[in-house]
Structures are given as C-alpha cells and as structure tokens.
Amino acid sequence: MIIRVFGMGCKKCTETYENVKKALEELEINAEIKKIMDLNEISEWVLMTPAVSFDDDIIFEGKVPSILEVKKELEMYLKR
C-alpha cells in the first residue's frame, strides 16, 4: 500500500502527515508514506490540500483528518 499526503508543507499539511503516520503505527500497518510537495504533481491529483490517498484513491481532500478518521478509513479500505 502506498499512502500519499499532498501539501506544500504548511501547518495543516504537516499535521495531516503526522496523523496518518500515527494511525499506521497504532494499527500496526506497514505502508509506504510519500509526502507530495510538488505543486504540479499535487494538481494532477487534487484541487485542495491537505489531501490523502490510499494507493490511487483520494480519501481526504481539503481537511486535516484526525487520527481516528484515518484509522477508520484505513480499516475500511483494507477490508475491500
């Protein structure tokens, strides 16, 4: 699984990255996390940051998801 966190490095984007990282640790999921900070690449995926994708699916866009929200989405995504 590849998880991408999209953002230019602002406070909200950094918080999103940390929440995703913590959720993965708490669920003991081994996934690759990529910070996508290049504006051209971000614009190919989403319109608003922060944003998070699991593999090629955009899960969150334009908001900072809580650790609990990330965990819930990860659990549902992995059950598919």
Q: How much is the pTM?
A: 0.95
Catalytic residue among 3, 13, 20, 42: 13
The reported pLDDT for the residue numbered 35 is: 97
The reported pLDDT for the residue numbered 40 is: 97
Q: At what angle do helices 11-27 and 67-79 cross, to 10 degrees?
A: 50
13 is catalytic: yes
28 is catalytic: no
The reported pLDDT for the residue numbered 77 is: 96
Specify the CATH number for the domain of residue 11. 3.40.30.10
> Which residue range is the domain that position 30 belongs to?
2-79
How would you write the pLDDT of the chain (80 residues) with one tens digit per residue?
Answer: 999 999 999 999 999 999 999 999 999 999 999 999 999 999 999 999 999 999 999 999 999 999 999 999 999 999 98
Number of domains, the chain: 1
Catalytic residue among 1, 2, 8, 10: 10
**CB 2, CB 55: distance < 8 Å:** yes
For strands 32-36 and 2-6, give the pairing. Answer: parallel
